[in-house]
């Protein structure tokens, strides 16, 4: 099924079920107050949400979708506007190794055998069409196209198999970065803080069955198409993820329980083939250093736009599209 959150006067928004073709939606408030409520009570509400989804698709096909309305991604918040926890990994080792060169850091110990992950802010996620307010162009504004999962409860010490069974929904992510702040924060040993502003999400969260064979081994095996100011930037595929989501969730849960509504990110989607392009500017810059001795691509400016959509073999975008503009933040807002 496909679920989204419309903006409302409530901080957790209005839960809706969205048709498979993303054309129409129907209110799901009688089943769950919000997506977080739905995930927390998944065993109690999933069947009712699925039944509503099937009814919506049947009615949409006949043109008689009672109670439904046109689905507008611009009216959406993030599927979870806020939640308990957001943990982001670097599960594509090709990207991680390139970033080591970008930041001129020592190789990460056990990078090939133990996932790396940081805990980001989860109190202020951005919707798919929201402007992205940032304080200064000189901070190295960068997008990062990723995939993610929303979990149910996960017990401490869960195996990768158990952890994978707790995946409730799949999401598409733009994990914004301020690259000029990253190196110092990495050197402190305390991890990212200022270099990681609010993360953005595509409008629709989907159950894994919606992807068919494109969801396999805990990986979203779709091309993630990225455009910057209308120009192609990359279309790397999620199949090259070195750690599957089961492994990432188990890593996060090794020494603590995870609450329902935890979001786990894959890190920037990255492929070894140069033909796939990149899902972030920093990766392109590192490749330019390798090829030309210096970076040639600048970071984003205020007014720039980025668009991201994961697409299947038929060209459909099951999560919808992230389409955002970077703007100067108002410190008085």
Report, as an integer, the average pLDDT of 177-190: 83
Taking the C-alpha atoms of residue 54 and residue 60, their distance in angstroms, rounded to an integer, is 10
What pLDDT shows up at residue 100?
Answer: 76
Q: Does one domain contain both 66 and 101?
A: no
Q: Classify residue 294: in a domain, yes or no.
A: yes
- Which among 48, 71, 94 is the end of a domain? 71
CATH code: domain of residue 120: 3.90.850.10
Q: Does one domain contain both 292 and 172?
A: yes
Q: Does one domain contain both 57 and 188?
A: no
What pLDDT shows up at residue 186?
Answer: 77
What pLDDT shows up at residue 12?
Answer: 98
Q: Classify residue 297: in a domain, yes or no.
A: yes
Q: Classify residue 79: in a domain, yes or no.
A: no
Residue 185 has pLDDT above 80, yes or no: no
Q: Does one domain contain both 164 and 305?
A: yes
Residue 66 has pLDDT above 80, yes or no: no
What pLDDT shows up at residue 248?
Answer: 98
What pLDDT shows up at residue 7?
Answer: 98
Report, as an integer, the average pLDDT of 143-150: 98
Q: How many C-beta neighbours within 10 Å does residue 56 have?
A: 26
Q: Which phi and psi angles does 331 have, rounded to 5°?
A: -65, -10
Q: Classify residue 77: in a domain, yes or no.
A: no
Q: Does one domain contain both 144 and 174?
A: yes
pLDDT tens digits along 73-118 = 999 999 999 999 999 999 999 887 887 776 667 787 888 899 999 9
What pLDDT shows up at residue 68?
Answer: 93
What pLDDT shows up at residue 148?
Answer: 98
What pLDDT shows up at residue 102?
Answer: 64
User: Across the chain, what does the average pLDDT equal?
Assistant: 94
**Domain that includes residue 61, residue range:** 2-71
Q: Does one domain contain both 64 and 117?
A: no
The total domain count for the chain is 2
Q: Which phi and psi angles does 69 have, rounded to 5°?
A: -150, 165
What pLDDT shows up at residue 103?
Answer: 62
Q: Does one domain contain both 169 and 223?
A: yes
pLDDT tens digits along 243-286 = 999 999 999 999 999 999 999 999 999 999 999 999 999 999 99
Strands (DSSP E) contained in the chain are: 2-6, 14-18, 24-27, 68-70, 86-89, 117-120, 132-134, 141-142, 145-151, 167-174, 177-178, 200-201, 205-206, 215-216, 219-220, 223-228, 231-234, 263-265, 305-311, 322-328
Instruction: Work out the pLDDT band at 201, boundaries 50, 70, 90.
Output: very high
pLDDT tens digits along 165-179 = 999 999 999 999 999
pLDDT tens digits along 276-328 = 999 999 999 999 988 898 999 999 999 999 999 999 999 999 999 999 999 99
Q: Does one domain contain both 47 and 128?
A: no
Residue 62 has pLDDT above 70, yes or no: no
Q: Does one domain contain both 272 and 223?
A: yes
What pLDDT shows up at residue 63?
Answer: 55
Q: Does one domain contain both 192 and 314?
A: yes
Residue 139 has pLDDT above 70, yes or no: yes
Q: Classify residue 270: in a domain, yes or no.
A: yes
Q: Does one domain contain both 48 and 96?
A: no
Q: Does one domain contain both 27 and 93?
A: no
- Which among 19, 39, 71 is the end of a domain? 71
Q: What is the DSSP letter of 33?
A: S
What pLDDT shows up at residue 329?
Answer: 93
Q: Classify residue 333: in a domain, yes or no.
A: no
- Which among 36, 71, 106 is the end of a domain? 71
């Amino acid at each position: 099924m496909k679920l989204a959150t419309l903006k409302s006067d409530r901080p957790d928004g209005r839960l809706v079920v969205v048709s498979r073709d993303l054309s129409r939606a129907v209110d799901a408030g009688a089943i769950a107050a919000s997506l977080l409520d739905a995930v927390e009570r998944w065993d109690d509400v999933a069947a009712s949400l699925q039944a509503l989804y099937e009814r919506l698709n049947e009615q949409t096909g006949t043109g008689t979708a009672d109670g439904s309305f046109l689905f507008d991604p611009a009216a959406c918040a993030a599927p979870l506007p806020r939640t308990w926890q957001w943990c982001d990994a670097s599960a594509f080792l090709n990207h991680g190794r390139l970033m080591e060169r970008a930041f001129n850091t020592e190789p990460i110990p056990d990078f090939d055998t133990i996932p790396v992950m940081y805990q980001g802010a989860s109190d202020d996620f951005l919707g798919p069409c929201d402007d992205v307010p940032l304080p200064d162009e000189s901070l190295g504004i960068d997008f990062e196209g990723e995939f993610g999962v929303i979990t149910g409860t996960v017990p401490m010490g869960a195996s990768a198999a158990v952890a994978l069974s707790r995946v409730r929904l799949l999401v598409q992510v733009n994990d914004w970065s301020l690259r000029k702040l990253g190196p110092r924060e990495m050197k402190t040993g305390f991890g990212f803080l200022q270099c990681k502003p609010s993360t953005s999400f595509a409008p629709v969260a989907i159950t894994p069955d919606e992807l068919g064979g494109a969801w396999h081994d805990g990986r979203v095996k779709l091309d993630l198409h990225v455009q910057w100011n209308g120009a192609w930037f990359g279309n790397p595929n999620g199949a090259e993820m070195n750690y599957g989501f089961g492994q990432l969730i188990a890593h996060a849960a090794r020494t603590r329980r995870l609450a329902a509504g935890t979001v786990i990110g894959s890190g920037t989607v990255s492929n070894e083939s140069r033909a796939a392009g990149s899902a972030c500017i920093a990766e392109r810059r590192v490749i330019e250093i390798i090829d030309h001795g210096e970076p040639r691509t600048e970071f984003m400016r205020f007014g720039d736009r980025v668009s991201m959509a994961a697409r299947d073999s038929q060209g459909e975008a099951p999560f919808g599209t992230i389409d955002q503009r970077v703007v100067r933040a108002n410190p008085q807002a």
